[in-house]
C-alpha cells in the first residue's frame, strides 16, 4: 500500500490535485470553454473530440449552468452554477478504472477505509444525440463520479470508444472536507465557498426564474439556430463556430425552461431542434482537418 496522501483540504486544492494527477497521466490540461453550458460534455474538447479516429486525452474544469437547479442559495447542495472536472480518454485505456482510482487516492479518499463501488448508470444526452454505458461511482453510498464509455455522439457511433470521467467538484469537496452545506466549503484557507458564490446563486436564481427576458431568449434561440445552419451551409466549412451557436441555443432553451414558458409537448420539439444542430455540427467536424485526422504509426502529429 502506498503511503496515504494528504487530503485535498480546500476546494482549490482539490482542483489542483486533479489537474496535476491527470497531467501526469499525459492528459492535455485544457481550460473551461467560454460559453455557458449545462455540463462539461458540451465542451468541444469532449463533444467533437470524442468523434473521429484521432487519439485524445484531455482534462479540464468546466463551469456548468443548470438554471432550473437554482435554489436562491438556500439548498445545502443544489446550485444553478457549479463546477465539473472532466477527463476524456480516447481510446479508453485497458487500465482506465485503475487510473481513475488513482485519482481518488490522490485526493485523499483511501480505498482501504472507504467503500468504493461502481453502480450501473447509463448516460444519455438527448440534446447532443449522445449515449454511453457506465456507472456512477459510489463512495460510502455517495455518488462522487460519473463514468461513461461513449457509444454515440451527435448520432454518430464513436470509434474508438472514449472514456469520460466527470467529477462533481462541489459534491466531492463536501465529502472530502466533511461539510454538509456547500457554502461552508473552504475554497482556500481564507475564503468559504459561500463568500465567493452565495450572492451569485441568489442573483442568478432570481434572474433565471423571474427576470430573464423570455422574448429575448426566444429570439436568441432562433438567431443561434439560424446562424448555426447558415454556417453549416457555408462553403468555408466552419464546424467550430457552428457548434458554438448550437451551445448558445441549448443554453437559451435551458433558461426558457427555468422561466417555465416551455410546455411539456414543446419541450421535446426544442430538444429535437438542438439535437439536429448538434448532429450536423458533429458531421461537419468529421470532415474537418482535426476531425478527420488519422494518426500514422509512431506519428506524434502536429497537424
Partner 1 sequence: MPELLLELFCEEIPARMQVGGARDLERLMVGALSDRGLMFEGIKAFSGPRRLTLSIVGLPAQQKDVREELKGPKVDAPAAAIEGFLKKTGLAREQLTVQSSPKGDVYIALIERAGRDTATVLAEVIPEIMAKLPWPKSMRWVPGEAVRWVRPLRGIVATFDGELVPLSFAGVESGRTTLGHRFLNQGAIEVRRFEDYEAALKKAHVLIDAEERAAIILADAKTAAFAVGLELIPDEGLLAEVAGLAEWPVVYVGAIEDQFMDVPAEILQTSMRTHQKYFALRDPKTGKMANKFAVVANMIAQDGGKEIVAGNERVLRARLSDAKFFWDEDRKRTLASRVDDLKGIVFHAKLGTQAERVARIERLAGEIAAKIGADVEKAQSAARLAKADLTTGVVGEFPELQGVMGRYYARHDKEDEAVADAIRDHYRPVGPSDAVPTDKVAIAVALADKLDQLISFFSVGEKPTGSGDPFALRRAALGVIRILLQGISIGSSLRLNLREVGVNEEVLSFFGDRLEVALKDQKVRPDLIKAVFALGNEDDFVRLYLRVGELQAFLGTDDGKNLLAGYKRAANILKAEEKKDGTFVGKVDEGLLPEPADKALHAALANAISAIGPALDKEDFAGAMRAMAALRGPVDGFFESVKVNADDTRLRENRLHLLAGLRAALHRVADFSRIEN
Contacts with partner 1 by CB under 8 A lie at 76-77, 91-92, 94, 97, 111-120, 122, 132-133, 135, 139-142, 149, 151, 157, 159-161, 175, 178, 180
**Minimum CB–partner distance for residue 248 and partner 1 (Å):** 31
**Minimum CB–partner distance for residue 129 and partner 1 (Å):** 17
Q: Smaller CB distance to partner 1: residue 66 or 220?
A: 66
Q: How far apart are CA 231 and CA 120, in angstroms?
A: 39
Q: Smaller CB distance to partner 1: residue 184 or 213?
A: 184
Three-state secondary structure call for residue 214: helix
Q: How many CA atoms lie within 13 A of 2 on its CB side?
A: 10
Q: Smaller CB distance to partner 1: residue 108 or 194?
A: 108
Q: How far apart are CA 291 and CA 256, in angstroms?
A: 32
**Minimum CB–partner distance for residue 203 and partner 1 (Å):** 24
Question: Length of the chain, please?
Answer: 303
Q: Smaller CB distance to partner 1: residue 124 or 195?
A: 124
| 35 phi/psi in degrees, rounded to 5 | -130, 150
Three-state secondary structure call for residue 215: helix
Q: Smaller CB distance to partner 1: residue 1 or 289?
A: 1
**Dmax (CA) of the chain:** 60
Is the bond preceding 302 in cis, omega lying within 30 degrees of 0? Answer: no
**Minimum CB–partner distance for residue 97 and partner 1 (Å):** 6
Q: How far apart are CA 132 and CA 151, in angstroms?
A: 5
**Minimum CB–partner distance for residue 116 and partner 1 (Å):** 7
Amino acid at each position: 500500500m502506498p503511503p496515504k496522501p494528504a487530503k485535498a483540504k480546500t476546494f482549490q486544492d482539490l482542483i489542483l490535485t486533479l489537474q496535476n494527477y491527470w497531467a501526469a497521466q499525459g492528459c492535455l490540461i485544457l481550460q473551461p470553454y467560454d460559453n455557458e453550458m449545462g455540463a462539461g460534455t458540451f465542451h468541444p474538447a469532449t463533444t467533437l473530440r470524442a468523434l473521429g479516429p484521432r487519439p485524445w486525452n484531455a482534462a479540464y474544469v468546466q463551469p456548468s449552468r443548470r438554471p432550473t437547479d437554482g435554489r436562491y442559495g438556500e439548498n445545502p447542495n443544489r446550485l444553478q452554477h457549479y463546477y465539473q472536472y472532466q477527463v476524456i480518454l480516447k481510446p479508453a485505456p485497458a487500465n482506465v478504472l485503475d487510473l481513475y482510482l488513482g485519482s481518488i487516492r490522490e485526493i485523499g479518499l483511501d480505498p482501504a477505509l472507504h467503500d468504493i463501488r461502481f453502480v450501473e448508470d447509463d448516460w444519455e444526452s438527448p440534446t447532443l444525440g449522445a449515449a454511453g454505458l457506465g456507472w456512477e461511482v459510489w463512495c460510502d453510498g455517495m455518488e462522487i463520479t460519473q463514468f461513461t464509455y461513449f457509444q454515440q455522439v451527435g448520432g454518430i457511433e464513436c470509434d474508438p470508444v472514449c472514456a469520460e470521467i466527470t467529477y462533481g467538484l462541489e459534491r466531492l469537496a463536501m465529502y472530502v472536507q466533511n461539510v454538509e452545506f456547500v457554502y461552508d466549503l473552504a475554497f482556500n484557507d481564507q475564503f468559504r465557498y459561500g463568500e465567493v458564490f452565495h450572492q451569485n446563486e441568489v442573483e442568478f436564481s432570481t434572474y433565471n426564474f423571474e427576470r430573464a427576458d423570455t422574448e429575448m431568449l426566444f429570439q436568441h434561440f432562433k438567431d443561434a439556430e439560424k446562424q448555426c445552419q447558415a454556417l453549416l451551409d457555408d462553403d468555408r466549412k466552419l464546424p467550430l463556430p457552428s457548434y458554438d451557436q448550437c451551445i448558445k441555443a441549448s443554453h437559451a432553451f435551458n433558461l426558457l425552461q427555468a422561466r417555465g414558458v416551455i410546455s411539456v409537448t414543446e419541450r421535446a420539439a426544442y430538444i429535437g431542434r438542438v439535437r439536429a444542430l448538434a448532429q450536423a455540427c458533429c458531421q461537419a467536424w468529421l470532415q474537418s482537418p482535426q476531425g478527420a485526422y488519422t494518426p500514422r504509426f509512431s506519428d506524434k502529429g502536429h497537424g
